[in-house]
Every structure is written in C-alpha cells, then in structure tokens.
Chain A
Amino acid sequence: MEFTEVIGGRRSIRFFDPDRPVEREKVQKILEAMRLGSCAMNAHWLRAVVVYRDQLPADTFEKLKLPVAGVLMELAPVHIYCYGDTSVIAKDHGGNPKQLIDIGALAPSHGWTYRFVDEFVWPQLLEPLTTSPNYPAAMAFDDGGCATLGLLMAFNEGLGACWSAFNTEAAKEAFGIPDDWIPHYLMNLGYPLESREAGGQRPRPPFEKLYFEGHVSKPFRRDEAVVEELKQRKMIQAPAPLPGRQQELRDLARRLGLPE
C-alpha cells in the first residue's frame, strides 16, 4: 500500500473479528516500526507489552477492562500495552548522544562533541529534565510518535487497531510493570470486521484553525491543488458518514451480539 493511502485509510477500528488470531510476525512488524520512531537524544522511552487476550486468565482480563474500552478489548485478540520508561535518561548518563556522535548522526558542525555532552548536555539539559515536571510530557510526545508508526504498520498489514485506556493498576500487577514506567495507552489489535472505509474519514477541525505560518494570527493557507493531489493518492478520503454506515453498525452489533 502507498504511504499516503496508509495514512488516509487508518481509522480507529472498534469491531474486530474476535475469532481470527493475529499472526505473531505481524505483531513483530508493528513493534519494529515503533522502534524506528524519532526520539530526542535517541532515548526510546517507549515500552510495549504484547498480550494475547485468550491467554489471559478470565479474572485478570476482567480487571484490565475499563467501561469505555470493555467491548473493544473483548473483540480484539491482541492487546499492546504501551508505557514510557522514565528511567532511560538517568541510566544513560549522556551515552546516547555520544553514540549518535560515533555513528555520524550528530557532528561538530552542529556543536556536538563528547565534551559538549559532558559539560553541557548531560548536566544542564538531560539530568535536570529527569526531574522536571515537563519530563513526562516530553517523553509522551516522542512515545506517541513511535507508537503511531506501529499503528500505521498495523493498517499496512491489513489489520485494524484502536487506542484505548486500560486499568493501569491491574496491568501493573498482571504484567510486572516497573514503578518507573508511566502508562500510556493500549493498542487493541485484530482483523477488522468493519469495511475498509469504516464509515468514512472522521471529521477534523478546519486546517487553518490548526496550522499557522509565521505567526498564530496567520493561518497556513491551504492550497486546494495539494488537497486534490492527496485525494488522488487516497490520503484524503471521502468524509464520514458514508451511506449505509448505520446499517453496517447495526449488522455488526447483531452479528456479534453487542448492544444496539
């Protein structure tokens, strides 16, 4: 599938085939994609625990569910619990930027030297970052970027996925999560029972309300020729609701015995 179509075809899929297992190699591809995401200082805070729904003890599974995610978790055969490991920077002690210097990703042309890392980056940036109230937000930004690569890979592999919250205390106990991991979200994963369009592309705020050029008073002007090109390349797709969506939802609910 073309990159643009993967982006455009992604939906939060909420109806999975509960009886169709996901191949382990596809799960691995999702994790491989997450691992290649961009991270400040190459820190890679993101941690993921893959859990197969049918291998969970029933009482554990019940505890993991939250009301808004219960049905989703029951339908998805695979759950990928995502966390941020806050201990990464403290353990690394400036090692990651030095590794980036060694492999030629960072260079003196941009000020990067071992000495700069020892004298400034570690003591004045990274170490204070670990105790800053902004640290979890900074980490979560990068973790979200990495996790999104995994999400797109899922769709590239013909799967469907949807993020949800989960019972973090129950997960910590069930999966042995360390104290310094911060819970993010859970990727519910499986083969979609919904149509590929899943009712159409979801509404988004107007482009010009979100993005600006030079100053927040100046919206980034949207070039309709670009929009047209992205429609041709299937990134911008027909907006929801598509005709027949309500019937599709009702049919899915009835097929699965879900509430209407």
Chain B
Amino acid sequence: MLERPIESYESVVAWEGGLRGQWGGDPFAEDPAKLQTLAAFCDFIAKDPDALVAFCFLRKRATGERFASKQRRDELMPKLKEFEEAAGRGVEARRRRSHVVSFLSHNGVLIY
C-alpha cells in the first residue's frame, strides 16, 4: 500500500506532465486505469512509484554518474511479465503492462 496519494509522487507528476505534453488533455481523468494499474503494480512489487524509478538507475562507482541499469531492467522485466499475465492474454493484458511501461518511459526508463 502506498503511503500517500499516488498522484503526489514526483515520478507520477512527471508521468502526467509527459502524457499531457505528448497528447494534451487530462490523462488521468480521461483514463483512470492508468493510475489504478500503476498502483496495482506498485503493490505487486512492494515499491512506491518513485522507488520503482530509482530502482532502475544505479551510479558508477568511480564517478558517481547515474545510469539506467541493464541489470535492474532484467530484474524488473519478469515481474512486469508476471503482472501482465495475471490479467490473461491479448490486448487488455498488454494494455495493463503498457500503462506501467508508459510510466517508466516518461521517467526516462526504457523497458519492453
């Protein structure tokens, strides 16, 4: 369970901003499933949205430079697949996965 409203997390604000910039409108009001799905995924992996994004990045030991971690992506992908498959197969299940992927993409994390 999240400790505060999901819309208040910085990464969710970034997601909303990204969606609004790309498509216009009010993305969460128009499609409440986006936030509901992200909340469900956060429950599933026991991380809040900001922690989920932070999990996908590491810092280089030598320089401290932040980078998107392949290792972390590889850890996350089976979880995402499991989450998707819990909804069955087909476009609806894929959409469930896609909401999470969209959230990550708009936070600079590419996962597929």
Give Cα A107–Cα B45 distance, bound, in whole angstroms. Answer: 71
Which residue in B24, B91, B112 is a CB contact (below 8 Å) of A256? B91
Interface hits, B92-106 → A, CB 8 Å: 92-95, 98-99, 101-102, 105
Decide if A65 is an interface residue (CB 8 Å cutoff). yes
Residues of chain A with a CB closer than 8 A to B110's CB: 67-68
User: What 1/0 flags go to B2-36 for Cβ under 8 Å of A?
Assistant: 00000000000000000100111001000000000
Q: Binary interface profile of B, 78-92, with partner A (CB < 8 Å = 1, else 0)? A: 000000000000111
For A71, the chain B residues whose CB sits under 8 A away are: 112
Instruction: State the 4 A-B residue pairs at the shortest beta-carbon distance, nearest first.
Output: A70-B112, A257-B94, A259-B102, A257-B91
Residues of A within 8 A of B (CB): 65, 67-68, 70-71, 246, 250, 253, 255-260
B interface residues, tally (CB under 8 Å): 20
Q: How far is the CA of A221 from the CA of B93 in the complex (A)?
A: 55
CA of A246 to CA of B93 in the docked complex: distance in angstroms? 24
**Contact of B52 with A by CB under 8 A:** no
Question: Given the complex, which residues of A lie within 8 Å of B112, measured CB to CB?
Answer: 65, 67, 70-71
Q: Does B111 contact A (CB under 8 A)?
A: yes
CB distance from B56 to the nearest CB of A (A): 11
Q: List 13 A-B contacts (CB under 8 A).
A: A67-B73, A70-B112, A257-B94, A257-B95, A258-B94, A258-B98, A259-B101, A259-B102, A259-B105, A260-B19, A260-B22, A260-B23, A260-B27
When chains A and B are docked, how far (Å) is the Cα of A257 from the Cα of B22?
17
Contact of B23 among A67, A70, A246, A257 (CB under 8 A): A246
Instruction: Count A-B pairs with CB separation below 8 Å.
Output: 36
20 further interface pairs, Cβ-Cβ under 8 Å (given A68-B110, A257-B95, A258-B98) = A65-B112, A67-B112, A70-B112, A71-B112, A246-B22, A246-B23, A246-B24, A250-B23, A253-B98, A256-B91, A257-B90, A257-B93, A259-B99, A259-B101, A259-B105, A260-B22, A260-B23, A260-B27, A260-B98, A260-B102
Smallest CB separation, A126 vs chain B (Å): 40
State A259–B112 Cα separation when bound (angstroms): 10
Q: How far is the CB of A168 from chain B (nearest CB, A)?
A: 15
The answer for the CA separation of A259 and B33 in the assembled complex, in Å, is 13
In the complex, what distance in Å separates the CA atom of A209 from the CA atom of B3?
55
Q: Is the CB of A257 within 8 A of B98?
A: yes
Residue on A with the closest CB to B98?
A259
How far is it, in angstroms, between the C-alpha of A71 and the C-alpha of B98 when the chains are bound? 11
A250 to B19 Cα, complex, angstroms: 11
Docked CA distance A255–B101 (Å): 16
Question: Which residues of A have CB within 8 Å of B73?
Answer: 67
Alpha-carbon separation in the docked complex, A65 to B73 (Å): 13
Q: How far is the CB of B48 from chain A (nearest CB, A)?
A: 20
Nearest chain B residue, comparing its CB with the CB of A65 = B112
Q: How far is the CB of A23 from chain B (nearest CB, A)?
A: 26
Distance in Å: Cβ of B70 to nearest Cβ of chain A: 9
Q: How far is the CB of A38 from chain B (nearest CB, A)?
A: 36
Interface centre among A68, A250, A258 (most CB of B within 10 A): A258
- On chain B, the residues within 8 Å of A255 by CB distance are 91
- List residues of chain A with CB within 8 A of the CB of B99: 259
Residue of B23, B91, B105, B112 contacting most chain A CB atoms (<10 Å): B112
